[in-house]
Amino acid sequence: MTSRGRSTQRVLILLALVAAVLFVVAAGAVGQTETVAQEDEPVLISEQPVPESVERSEPTADHSKFEILQGPFATGPDLTTACLSCHTEAAKQVQGTTHWTWDNHYGEGIGKTTQVNNFCIGIQSNEPRCTSCHTGYGWTDNSYDFTIEENVDCVSCHDTTGTYKKFPTAAGHPAYEPTDFGGKTWNPPDLAMIAQNVGKTSNETCGACHFNGGGGPGVKHGDLNPDLLTASKDLDVHMSADGAGMVCSDCHEGNNHQINGSSVYMSPSDDSGVDLPLDDGNQATCQSCHGTEPMDSDKLNEHTDKVACQTCHIPTLARGETYTKTWWDWSTAGEFDADGAKITTKDENGNVEYTTIKGNFEWDRDFVPAYVWFNGIVDVTVAGDPVVLNDDGVMELNAYSGSYDDEHSRIYPVKAFRGIQPIDGGNNTVALPHLFGKDDAAYWKSFDWNTAIAAGMEVAGTPYSAGVAVPYSGEVAWMETVFYEPATHMVAPSGDAVECQSCHSRDGILASIGGFYLPGRDGGALDWLMWGLVALTLVVVIVHGVMRVVGSKRRSS
Amino acid sequence: MSTHRVKIYAGFERLWHWLQALFIITLMVTGFEIHGSYSLFGYETAVRIHNIVAWAFIILIVFAIFWHITTGAWRQYMPTGDRSIVTQGRYYAFGIFKGEEHPYRKTELAKLNPLQKTTYLGFKILIVPVMVTTGLLYMFYNSWSDLWPGGLAWVAIIHAFGAFFLVIFLVVHVYMTSTGETPLSNVTAMVTGYEDIEDAPEEEPATV
């Protein structure tokens, strides 16, 4: 080969190498550009663009033209009777749903009816207050007849006027005459006007209960509160007007009044992906619209076998104006001022800090959720269950199951609501106090925990309707508890998603989630030894160098 | 003593060396961020750079293997199998401070001293294959994680372990460049390709 030929060949090899390296770098850079360009665009499986505004179907009936709805209606059940004269099967359908039964089938007869939490602890013996959020009328105690059709409250969900309000302590009834409660007067709603304007459910009707869980705006849920009614896109990409403009029932759709999606049967994973009509009956998951691989980056999609969508896309809870309750200490309740009057104090943000009837609260907003391994199975607690404390000395009232090794588990965000609540100290069991009522045994009358718990335990058995008493020793003690609320609403724009290093760092948000190797968090155990070797090497070469310089100076002198 | 100017590193060899240096240092800086040692670019960017440079490095390695085989340059790294490595080690440990001559003369056909041969051979057949293998396993973790749950920890720890050895290699390697005829002659040779090499002693009588 001539030298000219050889040098040409050499140049070609070099060019090929440089081209190959540049190609890889350029490909990587282009990939990055694409990711940036598509940020904040909804990633749906359909290639169709999301419409600017959603045109929803108009009803085929004008209810104001129905003679039977002209009223007047004295009570809610009277109105329902009118509804059922046409919608003959509607009440039967409703009575088959958890909106009616509050029986979530955790086990035999265990559900919202008998479950204990660390807010107002339990429904049993406190029904008239709690059932102000029931889709029915008149549920005052465990003798309630769940088969009476006219007790279904149609308009709690189908009111479109915004004037229908269930009275807070009337077992699901609205006020029928002007009544004072909570510092304001509740006027009776115009049931005939409401009946003539019924329609689809709305964020307002669903939110009337679900935004006010725990008895007030955002009290129970960090991801559900009235801020969603006027949400900005930053707060919720789905429900904001400048976002997708969606309503609750767009995801929580259903047939025969059976609504998809539940805070009990949650789906941290949904491998079936996009749901078509008549699909898997689980149409309220992220994957139902977004599919199982919605991200532009393969590496991000590869996270979905272990990380729930919500974990990255709900960076903080209660990101709007409304605070959510994070701590409730019942043990401090019952203090009165010098005049014997009840005390209410508020913190600097205007949230109640202490009330005589309930004890001490703490509130927070825009805070990072807690994270747990979760496979959809929740182990709930009922009155009389033994007290079981975890390593932190806290009882998990609804322990979430799951682990890294379980293919159905995902790392899932929760609001961990903590508090201190009474127990049966003699039997070391979970107590359910009778709080609400006009009788002397009610804690909010007597402020005596002993009589309140005794009265609560009288009717606190499982199943709910049986009214089997739970043994009570007569000795009140206290325990710290935690109750988990799923975080699944208030999805942030993709640009606000949790950043990689929030988890992939030594003390990141997943610092306490065990069972697996997390790059950036783990693997540093022997780093001190290795950096020590590096430092030792540096010392050796520096000493070596100095000795060479000294040696050569000595020789030259 | 007379010297002659010799082209000791070919063009490709120098490009390969400096690209490899650039890639390894970039991988090091981003890699230790991924390891969690510090925060610099942000995890996502660090991973992206690390992956791009890793592929570039792999391409470079393919070219380098091809070059070593076709040019026969691989023979430069074959250990001599005698005690010459001890002699070379003793020189760096003692003789170098007394101004002794390098025990082995650099020639066009044997440009690496016995210690270099062994070190670089170890680099080529142990460190680099281990780093590439564990790196690719790390990169494609999701494709095999079902076969070996928990395997990522081993892959990641071995990969990081190798990275620490590369840091140590880098420190020593950079320092050793100063042990040539002059402190900069080795670096200059790797930049220009040329080095002034002593004439072979047996030729000296002929020139006298």
Per-residue model confidence as pLDDT tens digits over B187-200: 998 999 888 776 66
In chain B the domains, ranked by start, together with CATH numbers, are: 3-201 (1.20.950.20)
pLDDT digits (tens, 9 = 90+) for A53-90: 667 778 899 999 999 999 899 999 999 999 999 999 99
Judged by CB atoms closer than 8 Å, whether chains meet at B35 and A523 is answered as: yes
pLDDT digits (tens, 9 = 90+) for A498-522: 999 999 999 999 999 988 999 999 9
Cα A147 from chain centroid (whole Å): 31
- What is the per-residue pLDDT across A277-287, written as a single tens digit (0 to 9) for each? 665 566 788 99
Q: Compute how many other C-beta atoms are within 10 angstroms of the C-beta atom of residue A191.
A: 24
In the predicted structure, residue A415 carries a pLDDT above the cut 90: yes
Percent of chain A with pLDDT over 90: 73
**Which residues are bridge partners to A374 per DSSP?**
A410
Task: Return residues 295-354 of A near B (CB < 8 Å).
Answer: 299, 302, 305
- Please give the residue that has the higher pLDDT: either A101 or B208: A101
| Chain mean position to CA A557 | 81
Find residues 473-512 of chain A whose CB sits inside 8 Å of chain B.
Answer: 499-501, 504-506
Q: Name, in order, each residue with C-beta under 8 angstroms of B94's C-beta and a sequence gap of 6 or more.
A: none
Residues of chain A with C-beta less than 8 angstroms from the C-beta of B167: 534
Cα dihedral across residues A362, A367, A372, A377: positive or negative: positive
CB contact under 8 Å between B67 and A541, yes or no, is no
* Predicted pLDDT at B144: 93
Rounded (10°) CA dihedral A184, A185, A191, A195: -20
Q: Is A429's pLDDT higher than 80? A: yes
Tokens representing residue B182 in the block:
């002059």
Q: Chain-wide mean pLDDT for chain A?
A: 90
pLDDT, tens digit (0-9, with 9 covering 90-100), for A204-247: 999 999 999 998 999 999 999 999 999 999 999 999 999 999 99
For residue A162, CA distances in Å to A190, A198, A206 come to 11, 11, 12
A539 touches chain B (CB under 8 A): no
How high is the pLDDT of residue A464?
A: 86
Statement: residue A13 has pLDDT above 80: no
Task: Output the pLDDT for position B97.
Answer: 86
Q: Give the CB-side neighbour count of residue A6, counting CA atoms within 13 A.
A: 7
User: Of A524, A533, A550, which is closest to B36 when you measure between CB atoms?
Assistant: A524
| Cross-chain residue pair A524–B52, CB shorter than 8 Å | no
Tokens 């005390």 sit on residue: A343
- The tens digit of pLDDT for each residue in A520-546 reads 999 888 899 999 999 999 999 999 999
Q: What is the pLDDT of residue A150?
A: 97
Taking each helix axis from N to C terminus, what angle separates B128-139 and B151-176, rounded to the nearest 10 degrees?
A: 140
Mean pLDDT score, A185-197: 96
Question: A429 - beta bridge partners?
Answer: A386, A424
Q: Hey, is A381 helix, strand or coil?
A: coil
Q: What is the pLDDT along chain B (208 residues), one digit of tens a residue?
A: 577 788 888 889 999 999 999 999 999 999 999 999 999 999 999 999 999 999 999 999 999 999 999 998 888 888 777 778 888 888 888 888 888 888 887 776 777 888 888 889 889 999 999 999 999 999 999 999 889 988 999 999 999 999 999 999 999 999 999 988 888 888 998 999 888 776 665 544 444 3
CB contact under 8 A, B43 and A500: yes
- Report how far residue A227's alpha carbon sits from residue A212's, in angstroms, rounded to the nearest whole number: 11
What pLDDT was estimated at residue A37? 40
**Is the model's pLDDT at A33 over the cut of 70?**
no
pLDDT digits (tens, 9 = 90+) for A382-413: 999 999 999 999 999 999 999 999 999 999 99
Are residues B42 and A521, on separate chains, in Cβ contact within 8 Å?
Answer: no
pLDDT value, residue B206: 43
